[in-house]
Amino acid sequence: MHGQDRRVLVAGHLRLDAPLRDLCHAQAKHLETIRDATLSAFEFLVESAFEQAVDAVLLLGQLLDEHPTPRACSTFRDGIEALREEGIEVLWAAPSSAEPNLLKELNCLPPGVVLLNDANPQAAFLANRETRMESRREVVRCDLMDPHSLPSREWDGHETQTLLRIGITQRPIGHLAQGDSLGGEPDRQFQLVLSSSPDRTHTTRHQQTIYHAPGCLQGLDASLHGPCSATLLRIGPDGSVELLSLETSRVRREHIEFSCDASVDEPQLLEQAELELLELFSQVDSGPARLLHIHWNIRGTLDWSTDWSSEKIQETLANRLPHTPSGIPLLHSVQRIPLMSGQIVACGEFLEEHLAEQYLQQLGEQLASDTSQDLEQACRELFLAHERSTHLPWQQLLAESSLRILAPRAGELGVRALQDQSRAG
């Protein structure tokens, strides 16, 4: 191994056997793929470790779902045993002791897994085997950064040279722009800081320190669109490190937005949809995905939304665009977004339109945000303020499966309610 690159595969949140959300309209033939998506992503991670000839696998973040299943625990055990049998080191920085303790009780935590926790906040791995009997060893060293207690430590009585020092934190780094840092003296001790906090992958650099969040192996809801991945670290003989993304999502989520006017007919709609999909198809067909879920946000005028409902467009796309060129199934969900600004709905109730527009504006500003708790709070505040003073179907909106699609759904259902009220009045 001396003089060669060393490879470490880093995986963020696994959430094995967790259910995927926002896919209630999926056909029966896709249910098995959806049900097994997280387990299949982990199995693909293990296969990739063999294919990439990695020396170690580093697990970060949440391993199990909130309600762990025997299938999830046994899948994890089998995968880790396969890695250990091939001589691949496995380190796990669990967010708490609960998951390791549960797996130990179930005999699903194979021996040889190095646990990084409060009792063992440091670990050295990838020791240079060819110099193991010499007076000096080169190692890659991992340290937990939370809390900032980093005591020095000697390794096996040998004089040890640290080739690369990696810090692991649960603090989020998704807010860091290029050149920003988490701050504090501990950060400067590491060439690489890995965060297990956010679900989305994120990488930035501050001086000599790289900050990286590997994200999760499989997105659970439509808010995590785009490829989910693990991260391959290639560590050079001089301690330099290169980060490579390795897609793992079996059910890939994508959001596509475009606008239509009242003159658009079905062939034109399909042509525009196909153009939007061309570039995406090339990415998906070369990846590990077995199902592609596309959520369409289609903007248009109020008169156009009367003739083209979300359900009608969704049915049209499903019939005409059922799969990618290589045969990967497509699952479409569609949301019409009425363009209401500056238009007066002919029902004599300006208050209704004003409230709907206020709702769209306030929630729309937060749709791209990762702070789903703030989004939910904004929803509920509007519901409580207006559920008795308007005919808009607030309770139906609140029952929608995903808050990420709630705002545009409010617009469409609100327009329908106003039109029904106008016709009835």
For residues 225 and 258, membership in a common domain is answered with: no
CATH value at residue 210: 3.60.21.10
Identify the pLDDT of residue 351.
42
Q: Across the chain, what does the average pLDDT equal?
A: 77
For residues 144 and 127, membership in a common domain is answered with: yes
Percentage of residues in the chain having pLDDT higher than 90: 31
Residue 55 has pLDDT above 90, yes or no: yes
- Listed residues 247, 271, 293: the one ending a domain: 247
Residue 369 has pLDDT above 50, yes or no: no
* Residue 87: band (very low, low, confident or very high) from pLDDT cuts 50, 70, 90: very high
**How many other C-beta atoms are found inside a 10 Å radius of the C-beta of residue 301?**
15
Q: Mean pLDDT across the stretch 364-387?
A: 54
Say what the pTM is. 0.74
Lowest mean pLDDT among 99-103, 378-382, 400-404: 400-404
Q: Which residue has the higher pLDDT, 55 or 351?
A: 55
Question: Which SS3 state, helix, strand or coil, does residue 330 take?
Answer: strand
Residue 242 has pLDDT above 90, yes or no: yes
For residues 113 and 212, membership in a common domain is answered with: yes
- Listed residues 231, 247, 263: the one ending a domain: 247
Q: Mean pLDDT across the stretch 378-402?
A: 56
Q: What is the pLDDT of residues 166-219, one digit of tens each?
A: 999 888 776 665 655 666 555 668 889 998 876 678 888 888 889 898 989 998
Identify the pLDDT of residue 120.
85
Is there a domain that residue 194 lies in?
A: yes
Q: Which residue has the higher pLDDT, 73 or 341?
A: 73
Identify the pLDDT of residue 226.
85
Is there a domain that residue 371 lies in?
A: yes
For residues 24 and 41, membership in a common domain is answered with: yes
Q: Using CB atoms within 10 A of its CB, is residue 381 exposed (0-12), middle (13-18) or buried (19+)?
A: exposed
For residues 202 and 259, membership in a common domain is answered with: no
Identify the pLDDT of residue 157.
44
Identify the pLDDT of residue 2.
43
Is there a domain that residue 1 lies in?
A: no
Is there a domain that residue 399 lies in?
A: yes
For 169-202, b/e burial (b = at least 16 CB within 10 A) is beebbbebeeeebbeeebbeebbbbbbbbbbbbb
Residue 367 has pLDDT above 50, yes or no: no
Question: Whole-angstrom Cα distance, residue 49 to residue 152?
Answer: 31
Is there a domain that residue 183 lies in?
A: yes
Q: Which residue has the higher pLDDT, 183 or 31?
A: 31
Residue 127 has pLDDT above 80, yes or no: no
For residues 173 and 265, membership in a common domain is answered with: no
Q: What is the pLDDT of residues 286-340, one digit of tens each?
A: 889 999 999 888 877 656 555 677 888 888 899 989 999 989 999 998 887 776 5
**How many other C-beta atoms are found inside a 10 Å radius of the C-beta of residue 273?**
21
For residues 243 and 256, membership in a common domain is answered with: no
For residues 162 and 141, membership in a common domain is answered with: yes
Q: Which residue has the higher pLDDT, 380 or 87?
A: 87
Q: Which residue has the higher pLDDT, 234 or 174?
A: 234
What are the backbone dihedrals phi and psi of residue 12, each rounded to the nearest 5 degrees, phi first? Answer: -85, -135
- Listed residues 216, 247, 278: the one ending a domain: 247
What does DSSP say about strands 6-11 and 229-235: parallel, antiparallel, or unpaired? antiparallel
Identify the pLDDT of residue 126.
76
Identify the pLDDT of residue 28.
82
Lowest mean pLDDT among 334-343, 356-365, 412-421: 356-365
* Residue 220: band (very low, low, confident or very high) from pLDDT cuts 50, 70, 90: confident
Q: Give, in order, the Cα–Cα distances in Å from 375 to each of 255, 366, 381.
A: 18, 6, 10
Residue 222 has pLDDT above 60, yes or no: yes
Range of the domain at 69: 6-247
Is there a domain that residue 393 lies in?
A: yes
For residues 303 and 389, membership in a common domain is answered with: yes
Identify the pLDDT of residue 298.
82
Lowest mean pLDDT among 43-47, 169-173, 218-222, 252-256: 169-173
Is there a domain that residue 88 lies in?
A: yes
For residues 56 and 185, membership in a common domain is answered with: yes
Identify the pLDDT of residue 323.
92
For residues 326 and 241, membership in a common domain is answered with: no
Is there a domain that residue 43 lies in?
A: yes
For residues 156 and 17, membership in a common domain is answered with: yes
Is residue 59 within 8 A of residue 103, CB to CB? The reply is no
Total domain count for the chain? 2
Is residue 176 within 8 A of residue 183, CB to CB? The reply is no
Q: Mean pLDDT across the stretch 77-98?
A: 94
Q: Mean pLDDT across the stretch 252-263?
A: 81
Is residue 55 within 8 A of residue 6, CB to CB? The reply is yes
